[in-house]
Structure formats: structure tokens, C-alpha cells
Structure 1
């Protein structure tokens, strides 16, 4: 019986120990990769080449991670406040109109494969939600917390729903290719990714119409919630004191 070589698993131990001791994650993962390569007698130059190859293959992920600290710095220096004040200066802007325009743009861009053009961390939280809140504040004055949460939830839903139904139209999207491979593996031929993308268009249009209808009713719902809030002076006073 051949002896089991456990040395290649030493990299896992380094990852666990490094994260437990709260070391820099990048250094921990790099050290684990080097140790694992050494454990399997991998040439050092080949190991460095592998590191470079994997980094280049995942450079899109790296660029996405770099966006997050940039967004955090912009928020720290008043990005949300500037977005709210800018929308407040536009008298014709309403929450429903802003969210509707974003939904259309997001679904169309997702259909073209531009999934990273917008998103929850880089667009919804720092820009879309503050703009929608600013429009509502401009029309109704100070908003109660329940209304703010409802508007923020609708902003997040716009991004999720628009991308979910729009991305299926893009024929190079992973889910489309997965469906194509599944059909071929089960003997269903004659269906190409283009066909799947074309049949996703009616669903995307239906989702667009349904959600635009929901957003059209949002303004009336906001007005009802605020009217109810103002009719409860004792509740409002208790919330303000808390």
C-alpha cells in the first residue's frame, strides 16, 4: 500500500493558522501557495509563473476589489450628501422616475454583458439610494425611518431584478452557456446560446413592465406612509426622543 503524502496539505494549515492569527490575508495566501509548491517539488520559476498566470486570469476580480476602497473614500467625503442635494435641486425628479430610469439602463446594459457597469456597492448604496431619498425628501420633507428603509429596499431591488432578467439575454453569460451544455448532454440538440438569449427577451420585457408598474405605485405608497406617520404625533414624538 502506497504511503499517503500529506505535505501538499500543509498550505491549508498555513491558511487556517494565518487567518486565526489575523495576519494579512494576501501574505497568508501567498505563503500557503509557496509552501504547497515546495511540498510537491515544484520548480520555483514555474511556481512564480503560475502565480502570475492566475493573477492575470483573475485581474477582473482584482479590479473589482480595488473599486470598494475608492467608493468608501468617496462616501466618507460626502458622495451621498452631494447626490441627495443635487437631486433635491431638480424639482421634477421623483423617487419612482429615478428608479425607473435606473431599471431600464441596468437591464439594457446587463443584456449587453456590462454586468460590472453598476451594482449594489458601487452604484446603489452610494448613488441611487441617496438620490431616491433626496427626491422623496424634496417632495415630502423629512422622512420617517420606515419610509427611508422602503425606498432603499426598492433601490436595491431595481438593481437585482434588472440584472437578473437582463443578463440572460447576453449569450456569453455563464448561465446561458450552462443551460446550453445541459441540453446537449441530455441529447437535446439544435438549440444554441443565441436561441436561449432570444427567448429570454420576452421574459425581460415582462419583468420590465411589471416592475415599472410597481414603481409607478411607489409614489402613492410613500405619500400614504408619510400621511399615516404624521397622523401619529405620539409615535413620532417617541421616535424623535429615542
Structure 2
């Protein structure tokens, strides 16, 4: 009976130990790859060449890393302020309308396979959220931080939900191809990626209708939250005044 060689599994132990010690995930995965390569007897030069080949085959990773410093530089030079100012100059612009338009465009773009056309890092944080906050500030004046955070959360949700339900319509999307392969491997024939994409359309439309309805009610929620924050501020101010008067009376 041949003995089982557990050395190739040593990389798993490195990953478990590294994540348990909360080391940098990139360093942990790289170390696990090196340990596994040495365990199976791959030459060091060949192992490094394999790392380089896999990295070059996934050049989108480098593109994603380049987005972050570019957005940081744009924000440093006033991208968010310019977005707020531009929205404030548009008559009739409201938070709900801005988020609704973005949701429709984002879901339609995802359905066409343009998933990387926008996103959290390159669109939501530097543009969409400031524009939505600027529209609310133009209507209601200075906003409490809780309201700004709520608007930012809804802006992020618009992007996530629109992409999640829109991308399944695109038949070349990875998840669609994975479902197609899974069905064929399990003997379920007659299902093609086109069928999966077509059956994803009703779900995407339902998500669009539901979320647009939620956004239509969002303006009322903003007004309610502003009133609640103002009431809390007044109560806190009244409490402070009462405490001050009590201390002065005691003296």
C-alpha cells in the first residue's frame, strides 16, 4: 500500500496559522504558495516563474490597485466638494432621484456585462455619496452626521443591489457559466446560459421596482431622521442648561 504524502497540504496549515495570527493576508497566501511549492518539489526559479505567470494572467488585480491612489489624489484636490457644488446648482435634484437614476443605470450596465463601469471605490464614495448628501443639504441645510451616514449607506446599497441582480442577466458572467456547468455535470440537460440569463430578467425587474419604491420613501425617512436628531440636540442642550443652573444655584 502506498503511503499518503501529506506534505502538499502544509500550505493549508500555513494559511490557518497565518489568519489565526492575523498576519497580512497577501503575505500569508504567498507564504502558503511557497511552502506548497517546496513541499511538492518545485524548483525555486520555476516556482517564482509560476507566481509571475499567474499574476500576469490576472492583470485586473493591478488595475484595481491603481484605482485607489488615483481616487485618493482626486479627493485630495476637491472631487467630493465639486460634486456637492454641482448637485446644489441643479434645480429639482433630490437624494432619492440621484440614487434612483444611478440604480437604473448601474443595473442596466451590469446586465450588459459592464460590471466594472462603476463601483464602490471609484464611483460611490467619491461621487455618488457626496452628490446625494449635497442634494439633501441643499434641501434641508446642515445635516447631522447620522443622516450623512444613512445616505452614504443607501448609496452603497444601490451599487451592491443593482450589480447583484443585473449581472446574472449577462450570459458570459462567471456565475452564470458556473451554474450552467454545475447543471450539466449533474445530468440536467437542456439548460443553456441564455436560459439562465432570461430567467434572471424577472428577478432583476422585481429588484428594480422594490428598490425604487424604497428610494421614493427615502426622502420622508431623511426628514424624520433630521427631526429626531434635532430633537435629541434640543433635549441635550436643555439638560446641560438645567445642570448649569442647578450648579450655579448650589453655589
Q: TM-score, normalised by structure 1?
A: 0.81
The corresponding residue for 1:196 is: 196
- Structure 1 residues 218 and 36: CA distance shift in structure 2, 3 A: closer
Q: Tell whether the 8 Å contact from 1:8 to 1:40 is kept in structure 2 after alignment.
A: no
The corresponding residue for 1:56 is: 56
CA distance in 2, matches of 1:220, 1:110: 29
Query: For 2:187, what is the secondary structure of its paired residue?
Result: coil
| Greater Cα shift, 4-13 or 145-154 | 4-13
Once the 2 structures are TM-superposed, how far is the Cα of residue 30 of structure 1 from its aligned partner? Answer: 6.6
CA distance in 2, matches of 1:211, 1:36: 47
CA distance in 1, matches of 2:46, 2:65: 27
CA distance in 2, matches of 1:55, 1:185: 30
The corresponding residue for 1:179 is: 179
CA distance in 1, matches of 2:59, 2:95: 36
Q: What are the Cα deviations for residues 119-174 of structure 1, in whole angstroms up to 9, with x where unaligned?
A: 11221111111110000000110111222122111111101110110011011222
Structure 2 residues without counterparts, runs of 5 or longer: 239-251
CA distance in 2, matches of 1:236, 1:46: 67
Once the 2 structures are TM-superposed, how far is the Cα of residue 208 of structure 1 from its aligned partner? Answer: 0.7
- Structure 1 residues 177 and 31: CA distance shift in structure 2, 3 A: closer
**Higher Cα Rg: structure 1 or 2?**
2
Once the 2 structures are TM-superposed, how far is the Cα of residue 46 of structure 1 from its aligned partner? Answer: 3.6
Q: What are the Cα deviations for residues 154-209 of structure 1, in whole angstroms up to 9, with x where unaligned?
A: 11110111011001101122221222122223322101011000110111111111
Runs (4+) of structure 1 moved beyond 3 Å? 1-14, 28-49, 227-233, 235-238
Structure 1 residues without counterparts, runs of 5 or longer: none
Q: What are the Cα deviations for residues 93-131 of structure 1, in whole angstroms up to 9, with x where unaligned?
A: 110111011101110111112222211122111111111
Q: Tell whether the 8 Å contact from 2:68 to 2:121 is kept in structure 1 after alignment.
A: yes
> How many residues in Structure 1 have an aligned counterpart in Structure 2?
240
Q: TM-score, normalised by structure 2?
A: 0.78
